[in-house]
Amino acid sequence: MRLFPALKGVQGARGMRTLTIALKWSLFYDLLPALALYGLITFVYAIFGMFVFRDVPAGGIMDETINFRTFPVSFALLFQVD
């Protein structure tokens, strides 16, 4: 992956290339498992919320956008709360 192809001809750009390579490793290889774990936990809690809170009547805080009736709405609700 080439983030800064224009830096190839610049002499002082070696440190910048090293920095971008380190950034690539930290973003794509260290952060990806953490994001996958976050998505898996949110997925499990969305399904759990659908089974537990599906039949709560609308009114009060529960309305058409804040409920656990369908999976996409419950996943989006948990994403907003986090």
pTM equals: 0.64
In the structure, what pLDDT confidence band is assigned to residue 5 with cuts at 50, 70 and 90? Answer: low
Summarised one tens digit per residue, pLDDT across range 16-70 is 778 888 888 777 777 888 889 999 999 999 999 999 988 888 787 778 778 888 8
By the 8 A CB rule, do 82 and 42 touch? yes
pLDDT at 71: 92
Buried b / exposed e over 29-50, threshold 16 CB at 10 Å, is: eeeeeeeeeeeeebeeebeebb
**Domain limits at 35?**
5-81
Could you give the number of structural domains in the chain? 1
The rounded distance, in Å, linking the Cα atoms of 82 and 79 is: 5
